[in-house]
Amino acid sequence: MARDQRDHYYRMAKEEGYRARSAYKLLQINEKFHIIKKGDMVVDLGAAPGGWLQVAKQLSGGKVVGVDLEPIALIPDVVTIQADITVESTAELVKMELGASADVVICDAAPNLSGAWDKDHAVSIDLARSALRAAKRLLKPRGNFLVKVFQGDMFPEYLKDVKKEFARVQAHSPAASRKESAETYIVAKHLLTSPVHIGDILELEIESVGKSGDGVAMVEGFAIIVRGAKPGERMRVMIEAVKPNFGFAKVLEKI
């Protein structure tokens, strides 16, 4: 069954001129989540042999930059950089190529599998953390991020960290991923640029009442909605959710 499925996408990739069967994973993910749009500037981390680069170029038509440890054979109008994504300065090389902030960062980087699951999982998480750091450096506000991660005990913590940075985050396995594979993709939309993050604890003074009747406090010009709070009240709160234009907090104690 899994082999039939692999052969299906492998054959399709050969027929349709994609360099890797993984091209269909990006096509399927984009069909469902619309992370790449026409005109977008896209960065692909761990991009060899270039299947995702072909798809990214086809979907966006905009500037596309790929990075990999391995050289990538020429793709028309796509820039490639041979570099290590776990090295912080690599993001600067990409930034120089882009000349602006990116709309989308995608990362399909994977370690050479050793067969020792814990080790492969740890390297995968390390790559995904590097990709998240690069995404925060390279994306424009509200930009989108897609990253592959091998499942394992460090996965929930990583997912939590991605959720702190993006407004909408979910894990997804496209049909083109092999059934027996432990890989999953995290689809993260709308990079947040708010001054607060989920889990932050801060002291606030409620300044006004919002449309919903809840209290509103401002942090560096960013609105925090506190259910049931009244103007003039001071309190210690914990940030529970962050949206692009406002956050929600729950009261820990009034002060």
Ligand X SMILES: C[S@@+](CC[C@H](N)C(=O)[O-])C[C@H]1O[C@@H](n2cnc3c(N)ncnc32)[C@H](O)[C@@H]1O
Query: Taking the complex as a whole, how short is the minimal distance between the CB of residue 252 and ligand X, in angstroms?
Result: 41
Residue whose C-beta lies closest to ligand X: 51
Query: Taking the complex as a whole, how short is the minimal distance between the CB of residue 124 and ligand X, in angstroms?
Result: 9
Of 82 and 170, which has the nearer Cβ to ligand X? 82
Query: Taking the complex as a whole, how short is the minimal distance between the CB of residue 211 and ligand X, in angstroms?
Result: 45
Cα–Cα distance for residue pair 240/234, rounded to 1 Å: 18
157 membership: H or E segment, kind and range: helix 155-165
Positions that interact with ligand X (CB under 6 A): 19-20, 22-23, 46-52, 67-70, 84-86, 108-110, 127
Q: Pick the catalytic residue: 25, 57, 63, 148?
A: 148
Of 52 and 166, which has the nearer Cβ to ligand X? 52
Tokens encoding 66: 């790929």
Tokens encoding 186: 């995290």
Angle at 57 between CA 100 and CA 80, to 5 degrees: 65
Query: Taking the complex as a whole, how short is the minimal distance between the CB of residue 2 and ligand X, in angstroms?
Result: 17
Known catalytic membership, residue 32: no
CB 82 within 8 A of CB 68: yes
Long-range pairs, 206-209, Cβ under 8 A, ≥24: 206/230, 206/231, 206/232, 206/233, 206/234, 206/235, 207/231
Tokens encoding 108: 């399909």
CA dist 39 → 63, 102, 103 (Å): 8, 11, 9
Of 129 and 236, which has the nearer Cβ to ligand X? 129
Identify any residues that bridge with 43 across adjacent strands, giving them in sequence order.
65, 105
Backbone φ, ψ for residue 60 (5° rounding): -95, -40
Of 68 and 165, which has the nearer Cβ to ligand X? 68
Residues belonging to the active site: 148
